[in-house]
Amino acid sequence: MSAPLICPSILASDFARLGEEVRAIEAAGADWVHVDVMDGHFVPNLTIGPDVVKALRPHSSLPFDVHLMTAPVDNWLEAYREAGADILSIHPESGPHTHRTLGRIRQLGAKAGLVLNPATPVAILEEVVEAVDVVLIMSVNPGYGGQKFIDASTRKIERVRAILDRVGSPAHLQVDGGVTVDTIGACVSAGADALVAGTAVFKGGPGAYAPNIAALKAAGSRAA
Ligand code: DX5
Ligand code: ZN
């Protein structure tokens, strides 16, 4: 089976050199650039605004995978799309009308992602499965990089994979949080095809990005 997609989270990069960091991960074999947007309200951290995404856009031709951790979220969709987001992923807890929000993302010409927190029931996916291009399963509680993978997430990945397969959905199944060479295998075996990794990609500095990504792909491929 083919290697899983690796989506480095630039939350773990050197913010003083963001443009170079994005160029470096593309050269190192990354598939998507994962951008964690935090508002200091929905999650207890404050990160990347649309102007930063816009400034980074010319530095890479990879898809920009923007994970929106803001509440409300609807008022930000257009700004991040205009800034260059290709995928916009939203948490159902961040607004009252999840189906409408997903539809709006597609209307803007982006791919729509639904994010499930560790405590968010999988059942919500059944109601909106036709409206999603990506299901993002959080394997940590959102807010910070460098947290430990929650082992119960693998069972959740299996349950989401079963729903997508049953309805014949081509949506990507992405996992985010604590993904390393030690945890990626269980994620892929359970049915994930796209993995976000912050610490595991950026540790060791620019010279290590290519071997870090290659090691994740190899460990994921072995499990596929
Ligand atoms: C957590 C973010 C993740 C995080 C991943 O709120 O959504 O993308 O940065 O970082 P690692 O891979 O270090 O857990
Ligand atoms: Zn994320």
User: What's the whole-number mean pLDDT along residues 25-29?
Assistant: 98
CATH number for the domain harbouring residue 201:
3.20.20.70
* pLDDT > 80? residue 140: yes
User: What's the whole-number mean pLDDT along residues 130-154?
Assistant: 98
* pLDDT > 60? residue 1: no
Q: Could you tell me the distance, in angstroms and rounded to a whole number, from the CA of residue 198 to the centre of ligand 1?
A: 6
Other CB atoms within 10 A of residue 52 CB = 16
Q: How confident is the model at residue 224 (pLDDT cuts 50, 70, 90)?
A: confident
Active site residues: 36, 176
User: What's the whole-number mean pLDDT along residues 160-167?
Assistant: 98
For the chain, what is the domain count? 1
Whether the CB of 179 sits within 6 Å of ligand 1: yes
Q: How confident is the model at residue 2 (pLDDT cuts 50, 70, 90)?
A: confident
The whole model's pTM is what? 0.98
Other CB atoms within 10 A of residue 24 CB = 22
Question: What range does the domain containing 201 cover?
Answer: 5-223
DSSP state for residue 36 in the 8-state scheme: E
Q: How confident is the model at residue 202 (pLDDT cuts 50, 70, 90)?
A: very high
Give the sheet arrangement for strand 64-69, strand by strand: 5-8, 194-197, 172-176, 134-138, 111-116, 87-90, 64-69, 33-38
Mean pLDDT, the chain, rounded, equals 98
Q: Are 127 and 104 in contact (CB under 8 A)?
A: no
Give tens-digit pLDDT for 98-110: 999 999 999 999 9
> Which of 6, 7, 9, 187 has most ligand 1 atoms within 8 Å of its beta carbon, as the pocket-test mutant?
9
User: What's the whole-number mean pLDDT along residues 58-81?
Assistant: 98
Q: Could you tell me the distance, in angstroms and rounded to a whole number, from the CA of residue 36 to the centre of ligand 1?
A: 8
Q: Could you tell me the distance, in angstroms and rounded to a whole number, from the CA of residue 172 to the centre of ligand 1?
A: 18
Whether the CB of 178 sits within 6 Å of ligand 1: yes
Q: How confident is the model at residue 97 (pLDDT cuts 50, 70, 90)?
A: very high
